Amino acid sequence: MSAPASELPSLPVTFRPTRTRVVLLAVGALLFVVITAIALTLEQLSAGERTSFVFTALLFFGVLALLSRPKVVAHEGGVTVVNLTRTRRLSWPEILRVNLRAGDPWVFLDLSDGTSMPALGIQPGIGKQQAIRDARALRALAEQHGTGSGPVR
């Protein structure tokens, strides 16, 4: 059963695991500050060793920032799925179904080419109820704008 049009989010709308993103970026920033402070306060370290500490801290922060990147942006023309290292734009008719089953780590999109694509921007990790609401909203948008069908469980 489709949601009434009045309950659909207005486009464009961005779905992302906000709490997870905040935690990852905060931990990354904290790690960077702590490791850099250690590098600068240890007097027995050479300049090269200090530089390697700071580089390692930047590397940690970069990995955590990459993990915080996923999002799903629904707009008039379709959906843009931003995963860890890849961005893919889909038109509404390409999305046949939006799936978030019990135990799934994130939403999966069943596509018209017969494949299934993960959409890491909607994940129940820290905010399960928010992920369910987001998945239902995306499913309703897909049903309204494309050929999507089927319930989100």
pLDDT of residue 37: 97
Count Cβ atoms below 10 Å from residue 111 Cβ, excluding itself.
Answer: 15
Per-residue model confidence as pLDDT tens for the chain (153 residues): 444 555 778 889 999 998 889 999 999 999 999 999 999 999 999 999 999 999 999 999 999 999 999 999 999 999 999 999 999 999 999 999 999 998 899 999 999 999 999 999 999 887 888 999 999 999 999 999 876 444 444
Give the long-range contacts of residues 3-10, CB within 8 A, separation 24 or more. Answer: 3/136, 3/137, 3/140, 5/144, 7/140, 8/137, 8/140, 8/141, 8/144, 9/74, 9/137, 9/141
Closest CA to 100 of 45, 138, 48: 138
* Residue 127, amino acid: G
Report domain extents, the chain. Answer: 5-16+70-145, 20-67
pLDDT of residue 147: 61
Q: How many angstroms separate the CA atoms of 42 and 65, rounded?
A: 27
pTM: 0.80
Crossing angle of helices 18-41 and 47-67, in 10° steps, is 180
Closest CA to 141 of 32, 15, 41, 28: 15
pLDDT of residue 1: 42
pLDDT of residue 152: 44
* CATH number for the domain whose boundaries are 5-16+70-145: 2.30.29
Helix (H, G, I), strand (E, B) or coil at 46: coil
